[in-house]
Structure 1
């Protein structure tokens, strides 16, 4: 296994090098495009001002109304069996069964299993508020498990034989305190690969969730700039589908579809450098017959994670309260969730 780990690190490092080179080229192209755009913008200012003046007496047609921005995405249904990984102080689990979004109002608390990597004693030492939260969860009927390794879920005796509709890991982090950024990124990439490999073995079986093709709505200059769900075509970098938007849906309430994996991260450096979508869709290939390859996933959708809709949820760092602070995940950017299902290899 040590040799396999070294080969995996080598494959990831090579992947990182290729990604950095690609990012440099992309950055140079963006700079050139921005310069060109600025010149065009300056040339059109006079014309735009003139049009604005002449349109003052014209009533706005099709203007965005207050509160017309898209609703936050709730990626769960009341019937889902949900497994939460790396829960920290368990406040997210509590937000799903107490003052939960209306979409989950009828979900039985017993459908939820919340886990933490730490032992119970370690958890309460790190997060003093966790003990009261765990007590509340247990009273409501939520299963709470400690000492659960997110990269070896199928080996945990308390999870064996169970299948899940949703396996969720919000703000995963290896928590090894590695100062060197490249090594830190590598450590977290290996953790993500381990999680994806393990989760595949306990996901609910069934047909993959599907997409319906819908025309992309043209946005006016006064529309809210936020686009809650990124079109799958854009996420998958498929230029041929650039003018189309895909809507996520399950075929029928009576059809048991395949389970999905949801990973939420701050969409800002260094987390973007983990390159989670690429790791899931195209994991590094090991030239070792003794180690099975990582499963390949399909990216179903990506959407903004709105912390405020999960009442009482507070993100906590892996190091806990001892780390002096309440665990912000980075400056700028936004919280974003990526949802994956296992790729149907028969279509390859």
Structure 2
């Protein structure tokens, strides 16, 4: 279903958990421009130093988030498949995982597909598991993927079904609805041999789709 009117899969007052946030630009945007007041942003990196080394712009996004004095927080060292009790203790109305990917540059497409399928199934199962299930009753999980191979090979609808979830709807992800948002690659900013940032491709310019379970 194609929509010219952007779909925003959350409300400002929702308790939102962001998983695998990368450079935190999405978190900063929904706080700054969409008025979200209860956002928990999580990153896989173990601390600020590791996050900054991978994403040099992250401090700007942290500052944007902190400018709003509300109930928002950043948690380091969070594996999407093993959400810790400190994160899961509070039920969330929306759990959002934008562009999940295990990383790596394996040329074995089948292996990459399998690893990413395992990542998503484990993430779905953890979001639903009790005790300390991070998804509130009546809440939803939103996963955004590019609309091209190998991502279409993951069969996300079936992965959700395997974990006991039903796809409610899907819609075109429109990055321009989130001012300041930039797609952050799993392995960080790409640099050339001189250490300069490579322009490369921009994920926010590629067709993508959000799936709501």
Aligned partner of 2:20 in structure 1 is 86
On the 8 A contact 2:93/2:136 being kept in 1, the answer is yes
Aligned partner of 2:174 in structure 1 is 306
Aligned partner of 1:266 in structure 2 is 146
d(CA) in 1 for partners of 2:39, 2:56: 23
For residues 285-318 of structure 1, give each alpha carbon's deviation from its aligned partner in whole angstroms, at most 9, with x where no partner exists.
xxxxxxxxxx310111000000011000000111
CA gap of 1:160–1:300, structure 2 versus 1, over 3 A, is: closer
Aligned partner of 1:133 in structure 2 is 61
1:316 pairs, out of 184, 190, 203, with 184
Query: How far off is 1:79 after superposition?
Result: 2.1
CA gap of 1:179–1:272, structure 2 versus 1, over 3 A, is: same
Secondary structure of 2:32's aligned partner: coil
d(CA) in 1 for partners of 2:204, 2:15: 31
Query: How far off is 1:132 after superposition?
Result: 2.3
Secondary structure of 2:116's aligned partner: helix
Runs of 4+ aligned residues of structure 1 deviating over 3 Å after TM superposition are: 322-332
* 2:39 aligned with 1:112: yes
Which structure is larger by alpha-carbon Rg, 1 or 2?
1
d(CA) in 2 for partners of 1:322, 1:87: 17
Aligned partner of 2:134 in structure 1 is 202
Aligned partner of 1:337 in structure 2 is 210
TM-score of the pair, normalised by structure 1: 0.54
Count of residues in Structure 1 that have an aligned counterpart in Structure 2: 198
Query: How far off is 1:98 after superposition?
Result: 1.4
On the 8 A contact 1:91/1:312 being kept in 2, the answer is yes
Aligned partner of 2:159 in structure 1 is 279
Moved more, 82-91 or 320-329: 320-329
For residues 80-127 of structure 1, give each alpha carbon's deviation from its aligned partner in whole angstroms, at most 9, with x where no partner exists.
100001111000011102133xxxx4x42xx11111111222110011
Query: How far off is 1:161 after superposition?
Result: 1.9
d(CA) in 2 for partners of 1:94, 1:264: 18
On the 8 A contact 2:183/2:204 being kept in 1, the answer is no
Gap runs ≥5 in structure 2: 192-197
For residues 240-267 of structure 1, give each alpha carbon's deviation from its aligned partner in whole angstroms, at most 9, with x where no partner exists.
xxxxxxxxxxxxxxxxxx1110000001
d(CA) in 1 for partners of 2:174, 2:204: 15
On the 8 A contact 2:104/2:187 being kept in 1, the answer is no
On the 8 A contact 2:32/2:65 being kept in 1, the answer is no
TM-score of the pair, normalised by structure 2: 0.86
Would you tell me which structure has more helix in proportion to its own residues? 1
On the 8 A contact 2:44/2:77 being kept in 1, the answer is yes
Query: How far off is 1:77 after superposition?
Result: 1.4
d(CA) in 1 for partners of 2:58, 2:123: 24
* 2:124 aligned with 1:124: no
1:96-245 alignment, distance < 5 Å = 96-100=30-34, 105=35, 107-108=36-37, 111-119=38-46, 120-140=48-68, 141=70, 142-153=72-83, 156-200=84-128, 201-205=133-137
